[in-house]
Amino acid sequence: MAYRVVPCRLGDAEAIAVNNMTAFWDDITWRLTWMPWKDSEGIEHPGVPLEELIARGKRRYPWNLLKNRTEVRETKAVDENGKLVGFARWVMPEAHTNAWLDAQVPDASVEERDRLKELHASTTWNWRKDMNPIDDPVSKRQRSLTQPGCPELDFLAVHPDNARKGIATVLVRKGMQVAEELGIGIFMLAFNCGLNVYTRLGFQLVDQIIQDDTIYGGEGNYARYYLRLDPARKLDGEGNPEPALSEENGDDKEI
């Protein structure tokens, strides 16, 4: 089946929430964030099940699509029936916020923006704060490695029901084509489950951080990878770096 990449609109928010929350839940390192935990004062906090997380996501995603629309570009992959099967969010550098405008979510009225902002703010998003120590070095390293002037793949998600169908690949290729047209590279922070997709498409590993997360109930492999695509890489007609890479159809969910 052929999948198309098209711009997201405000009406896609609920479908995006279902797609993204379910895709992220399939990754143990992200799922840990929503498990029950106890804070430094001994207060126990309940976990958040996937169904509840999806419900909250449906309330929060409309404002997520609008709040940073100047620099953010939101795209979705759709099947032959127009159903959303994957999602990608890109952050454009300041010098190119006037580019790729068809992937900028159209703005809403002032009244609608205020309503959606309040809905977002009133929806609890209580992740585990005790895991901040393991995420802090990841964020610090990301800030030091971010490439000025390059767009960043903020996150990519494919529902588990649609995994290994080439959907993540077509979503990434779209951003690669835009970057090539602008003559700039791409930077990203990736999870393990999407690493093969990116390296197969020509992204180079810049650095990585692998930490032991067993203290939080993990499997001991809390890994984050920093990748970039050289702006000098040219793409063939299929959206692959030249020389053309093999067209194996391996694909996964990525956050």
In a domain, 248, yes or no: no
**pLDDT over 50 (residue 254):** no
The answer to whether residue 250 sits within a structural domain is no
pTM of the model: 0.88
Residue 56 lies in a domain: yes
pLDDT of residue 247: 37
Q: Provide the residue type at 239 as one letter.
A: G
Question: Which residue reads 């090539």 in tokens?
Answer: 180
pLDDT tens for residues 56-85? Answer: 999 999 999 999 999 999 999 999 999 999
Q: How many domains does the chain have?
A: 1
- CATH number for the domain spanning 111: value is 3.40.630.30
Mean pLDDT of the chain: 90
- Residue 254 domain-assigned? no
Give domain status of residue 219, yes or no: yes
Q: pLDDT tens-digit profile of 3-48?
A: 999 999 999 999 999 999 999 998 888 899 999 998 889 999 999 9
Nearest to 83 by CA among 143, 150, 172, 167: 167
Question: If you ran DSSP here, which 8-state letter would residue 185 be given?
Answer: -
Question: Does residue 125 sit within a domain?
Answer: yes
> To which residue do tokens 């159209």 refer?
106
Q: Using a pLDDT cut of 70, give the percent of the chain over it.
A: 91
Residues of the domain holding 12: 4-229
User: Is residue 64 assigned to a domain?
Assistant: yes
d(CA 104, CA 85): 19
Residue 13 lies in a domain: yes
What sections of 132-250 are H helices per DSSP? 132-145, 167-182, 195-200
